[in-house]
Chains A and B, each alone.
Chain A
Amino acid sequence: MSTATTDSPKSAGWSIDLRVLGPILALLALVALGMFLNPNFLSYANITNVLARSAFIGIVAVGMTFVITAGGLDLSVGSMAAFIAGLMILVMNALIPVMGAGVGIILVGMLVAIVAGLIAGAINGLLVAKIGIEAFIVTLGTMGIYRSLVTWLADGGTLSLDFAMREIYRPVYYGGIMGISWPIIVFAVIAILGEIVMRHTAFGRHCAAIGSNETVARYSSVNVARVRTLTFIGLGLLVGIAVIMYVPRLGSASASTGVLWELEAIAAVIIGGTMLKGGFGRIWGTVVGVLILSLIGNILNLTDMVSPYLNGAIQGVIIILAVVLQRKRSNSR
């Protein structure tokens, strides 16, 4: 049911798995629709805009793919991003009198973001893997904590990066090489590394084994707690990197920074064909999932046939559709 053989009887062994091609076909269909609706769709400006905006969610979603593949879930990434952004801005502003506005402060700020991401990920990971609390509960808790912390740091308002600093930091989001902006480059590099780690290293294989059957993994001398914790730490690191790209875009952080990032990241992972219950994950699928989600928003903005306010509704339909397709595979087994 899930596979369709090609017409030629000679290539009977060659079967096409719709689950593999499904997300790609959906992406191609969206591109075709975009081209049809608006000739500007394929313009350089629009494409780079879509890709650059996808990069934050995309970077986070790569890490989320590992967490979900290993049977976990992380609801805290959006709040975590907001908190790290706030922390980063506070530290950088505080250092201006000491170090003077310059690249040095930005490097310190980046270090803060990465260390904070690692620590936040480690807290989630250790609570889940060592203490044994369900990932949903742990990250629901930390989600509330980080969101509340950033609101408190900003005193209910907005934390703004010093204006002099913004000018120096700006190129990290708006600059790039050969017309490709940094967020796109970083996203691409992380996606490629992620795909290699997932498919070709012991770590990736262990994640899939744990998500597939934790007991089997344990009996096969896989260090389950360590691998689990590492998936959360890796996700925290990637959230830190996403924040480094995100802060120069607006130069500020508030209680509404990163809202719903976690849901978009999880949705991208699921649309890409990774199983929510764990055991199977693919990074390229996640990348396709991220692109599908941003293209929907982009197309709605470019046409006036459907109100952009319905963006969420259409994304919701796509997510549910993706899961329905996933389920058919397990039924037909």
Chain B
Amino acid sequence: MTAPVLALRNVTKSFGPIEILHGVNFDLRPGEVHALIGENGAGKSTTMKILSGYLDATTGTVELDGQLARFANSDAAEAAGIVMIHQEFNLAEHLSVEQNVFLGREIRRGLLLDHKTMQKRTAELLARLDCRVSPTARVSTISVPDKQMVEIAKALSRKVRVLIMDEPTAVLTESETEVLFEQINRLRVEGCAILYTSHKLGEVKRIADRVTVLRDGSVVASGPIDEFTEDTMATAMVGRELSDLFPPKRRGGGEVVLEAADIHVPGHVSHASLTLRRGEILGIGGLIGAGRTELVEAIAGLRPRTGRVTLFGKELPAASVAEATRRGLVYLTEDRKGAGLLLEKGMRENLTLPMLSAFGRPLISRRKEEEALTRAIQDFQIRAGGRGIAVGNMSGGNQQKLLLAKTMLPDPQIVIIDEPTRGIDIGTKQQIYDLIHRLASEGRSIIVISSEMPELIGLADRVLVMHAGRVSGEVSGEDVNERAIVRLAMGLGEGSKETAA
């Protein structure tokens, strides 16, 4: 067995008070494809970023060729031959393919750029990848898989010893994946070490030599691929005990309050339907990019859609947030900082923004606003330094509670919560779970979207699972378990075990 080229020794990583990685050990050997798998939020991205110099470990060390390595930044790591290809591409959209491949390392002849050589080299690299885009094409005009190929060409153009790929096949078709695998195989033969993450366990089984499974920031399993099956990998990923983090489940059995039929969101969702009953907590599961957020945003009037949404027996017109809010349906966004809160403003301005007309017309009553804020701080247990503090300076948990308070201000009957606990510590999580239950027991109906399996299972009476823009199945009661949800989310049928993803 060859010595590892790149390794992590007892690495922990904390963001503020929250520890994300707990003592991770990890080896990457020359000439192997090492798959790193785990649920969203398990710490895969953090691990990869530490390996590739984007982040520093809080404690523990990174070793390169057995020597302690400390990369000042990703450029230093790249100089050492460690290249990471991000899920969101790092390409300058308005430059040509060739300009991107040689960006920052342009070949010169005297003072001027040597376009001819760079174009020739780019063409050679792309030919190796079976990619037919022209080196002079503008990146903004080429397809997403082609951009992936350009990223790989960019990595190949330098002396790469370690290639780190963050879900490279998420955007590729099957045949494009084949081309990528050929490339990975060739790099492996050339002695390059490849770290590879994917949610597609079938692919992992095919391409990887070794697998490491991360769960909640710790390595829970690691070994040669032969020791794993798709099912054991899935079990290792999600197999954690459900603690008493969640209040006891309750059955919602009231009348149907929301019905969405044949919803179509161009490019994201097709033929999706759902029903929601009074007092029920409905979960929506699936991988990131499966169209969950797009589906509920369309229902809440935030995206154009076709199809029919019936709210309390009456049709809800498309693309009108204000109308949905008025009729008792609200949506709490997953993008707290980008779409949920005004970070530069205080709590008061944020809390009352959706409902300003309720605080006096034409002039807003500052007193009523302050009263509402006092109530929200109490009801939602918001702990901020002071009432006037800019929301951007509050902790994630308190921001989330404020966002909940803001969303609940119109006293809605139907609440759609997208990733209720993203980036939040465990204590606050529990408070939010209790709150969701309280809302349901008051007779409100809740839809929870979550990428965290235990959250879905712990909260929901019924879980709808989406895969590639479609509702791939529904589980309820006893059948709400991790295996069933993961299988549906991966696009595996409920019954057939042998189908590859």
Contacts and interface: CB of A to CB of B under 8 A. Distances in A.
Given A202-B357, A209-B353, A221 B364 contact: no
B199 interface: no
Interface string A22-45: 000000000000000000000000
Q: Which of A205, A206, A216, A222 has the most CB of B within 10 A?
A: A216
A194 to B, nearest CB: 14
A205 B364 CA distance: 9
Interface in A192-240: 196, 200-202, 205-206, 208-209, 212-213, 215-223
B368 interface: no
Contacts of B349: 205, 208-209
A223 B363 contact: no
Interface stretch (B124-132, B143-151, B339-347, B371-379): B339-347
A201 B362 contact: yes
B197 interface: no
Contact of B331 (A196, A215, A219): A219
B325 A215 contact: no
B385 interface: no
A218 B302 contact: yes
B339 A216 contact: yes
B303 to A, nearest CB: 11
A279 interface: yes
A221 B325 contact: yes
A222 B349 CA distance: 13
Contact of B345 (A200, A201, A208, A215): A208
Contacts of B284: none
Contact of B322 (A201, A212, A216, A221): A221
Given A200-B364, A201-B362, A219 B345 contact: no
B321 A200 contact: no
A18 to B, nearest CB: 18
Contact of B321 (A196, A219, A279, A333): A219
A187 interface: no
B342 A205 contact: no
B51 to A, nearest CB: 32
Interface residues of A, number: 22
Interface in B325-366: 325, 331, 333, 335, 338-345, 349, 353-354, 356-357, 361-364, 366
B406 interface: yes
Contacts of B357: 202
Contact of A213 (B321, B325, B342): B342
A280 interface: yes
B363 A221 contact: no
Given A200-B363, A201-B364, A217 B353 contact: yes
Nearest to A199: B364
Given A206-B356, A208-B345, A219 B361 contact: no
B338 A279 contact: no
A215 B344 contact: no
A215 B322 contact: no
A222 B361 CA distance: 16
Contact of A221 (B321, B333, B366): B321
Contacts of A217: 353
Interface of B: 302, 321-322, 324-325, 331, 333, 335, 338-345, 349, 353-354, 356-357, 361-364, 366, 390, 406
Closest 3 CB pairs of A and B: A202-B356, A220-B354, A221-B321
Given A219-B333, A220-B353, 8 more contacts: A200-B366, A201-B363, A215-B335, A215-B338, A216-B339, A217-B353, A219-B321, A279-B344
8 contacts: A209-B353, A212-B345, A216-B341, A218-B321, A221-B321, A221-B325, A279-B342, A280-B344
